[in-house]
A = this chain, B = another copy of it.
Amino acid sequence: MSNKQQLTIQVESLTKQAFKAFGDVIEIDDAQHFPINQGTVERHHDLASVDIGGEAGRPLISIVTCNEWFTLPYKLPLLERHPVGSQAFIPMDNIPIVIAVAEAGESPHPEQIKAFISNGYQGINYHRNVWHMPMLFLAEAQRMIVVDRGGEGNNCDEFPFPEYEIIIRN
């Protein structure tokens, strides 16, 4: 029997308000928008603070695809953070994402972790240094656009919780 401390975190609905300490929710609701292209297209403008860490960084566009997928409840393996840039994930297939986050700081405490589930259309942008669970796929077909920082230097720290068993659940 494990002598790890058990901790269960229930996912809540992703909203801009609930997520504001961690980053941006990339969605058209409540975004500034204006018509372009003779009115045929609506631009929902500047939805995320993309942070490439100054001149040494450059913005990358990548796509992530699924090798293995999961269901809830899910055991959180660790948190990670990117110390020199933001990282955005935007769905390409309208499949919800589950994320877990803790505010920027040297030592996130498990009791501070919050978990969210998206509505399928929402993307998120983790601000620099915000702790987050490695991205988790919930379906084989799931694909996401990633916009993050390229350039030299370490841009990933990991933080495990060896004394805890942390379960993300519906």
Contacts and interface: CB of A to CB of B under 8 A. Distances in A.
Interface of A: 26-28, 31, 35-48, 50, 52, 55, 58-70, 77, 88, 90-94, 121, 123, 125, 134-137, 145-147, 150
Given A47-B61, A48-B61, A67 B40 contact: yes
A28 B63 contact: yes
B50 A59 contact: yes
A56 B75 CA distance: 43
A43 B64 contact: yes
A147 B41 contact: no
A134 to B, nearest CB: 4
Contacts of A31: 63
A163 B145 CA distance: 41
A47 B62 contact: yes
